[in-house]
Chains A and B, each alone.
Chain A
Amino acid sequence: MKILKIIATIALVGFVGIQFIPTERNQSDTVPETDFMLVHNVPETIQKKLQVSCYDCHSNNTQYPWYNKIQPAAWFLEDHIKEGKAELNFNEWDSLSSRRKSSKLRSIIKQIESGEMPLDSYTLIHKDAKFSEAEAEELINFITQLKDSL
């Protein structure tokens, strides 16, 4: 019984301790001119969908959930955001060459088609981030057109 108590105390101290380790927050007040929505004429419904479903991890501005205040959840999020932005950052869209844009648009289409994005771990909590069949079709059509016009 005593051992259990010790383990519980250590776990508690550890849990409290890691709360003091700072995390990098992905937040910005300005949207740069290179942003995808500023460069292209994106229909409003698609704009909203992209904002809700993609921009949290693929832009410089994340709408953080409440549990981001708690470790280790914050680390988990930080990791995903870093990886997401490295792969594609909608805010910096126009700094890409047309070859790179075409590649990225292709990947967007494939990821939405196969349902790989948005991640299951994300839609588990952000129910509204999920794509309905109609929404997926609308986005894919728009992105395909955009890709062909590059």
Chain B
Amino acid sequence: MKNLKMSIAVMLLLAVSFTNAQEKEKMNHKHGEMEMDHSKMKMDKMNPAAETVLADYFMLKDALVGDDTKKAAQSGSKLVASLKKFDKSSYSKEQQKELADIIEDATEHAEHISESAIDHQREHFKTLSKDITDMVAITGTKSTLYEQFCPMYDKGSAWLSTSNEVKNPYYGSKMLKCGKVQKTIQ
């Protein structure tokens, strides 16, 4: 009799601890799901196609900062290719239309940059910078960007940079420090 009572008590204890453990597992599971949701949100913010476009844009910008026409032309061609690969399917209809417009315009400027002398490259870089800025407004980006502005070039021209230190792509070594950060994009 005593034995039976003991074993019932043990069984009960086991059952309780078992359900408890299950509950905990469920909670863990839920927690995991929540984390996944969170990382998905982050993923949305870093569309890999947009990041590639940005990387090529910054390569182009650095080439212009360094007065390097050849490298700028190469980056221009790369940018044409990465713009072509841009996948818009995850965006709303309205955004897709806007992105298509931006990409068409940016592609034309990138094409011109790939086959022009440096003065011409810089002219196109100005409008290209506006296109890329508008793209980032829709796609977002994983890194912090700085919109910089030079009041001297063509009645005032902006560009994007990953660093808050000003290095002017419109003048290069001629006036490297001309400009200021006018906006931080996060």
Contact = CB atoms under 8 A, between A and B. Distances in A.
> Does B bind A?
yes
Contact of B123 (A99, A100, A102, A110): A110
B25 interface: no
Interface in B66-124: 101-102, 104-105, 108-109, 120, 123
Interface residues of A, number: 7
B127 A100 contact: no
A99 B109 contact: no
A100 B101 CA distance: 8
Range for the number of chain B residues in contact with chain A: 10 to 19
A103 B123 contact: no
Interface in B107-148: 108-109, 120, 123, 127, 131
Contacts of A97: 101
A106 interface: yes
B162 to A, nearest CB: 25
Contacts of B105: 99-100, 103
Contacts of B120: 110
Contacts of A102: 127
Interface in A68-103: 97, 99-100, 102-103
Given A106-B127, A110-B123, A99 B108 contact: no
17 contacts: A97-B101, A99-B101, A99-B102, A99-B105, A99-B131, A100-B101, A100-B104, A100-B105, A102-B127, A103-B105, A103-B108, A103-B109, A103-B127, A106-B123, A106-B127, A110-B120, A110-B123
Given A99-B101, A99-B105, A103-B127, 9 more contacts: A97-B101, A99-B131, A100-B101, A100-B105, A102-B127, A103-B105, A103-B108, A106-B127, A110-B120
**Top 9 closest pairs, chain A to chain B, by CB:** A97-B101, A99-B105, A103-B105, A99-B101, A103-B127, A100-B105, A110-B123, A106-B127, A100-B104
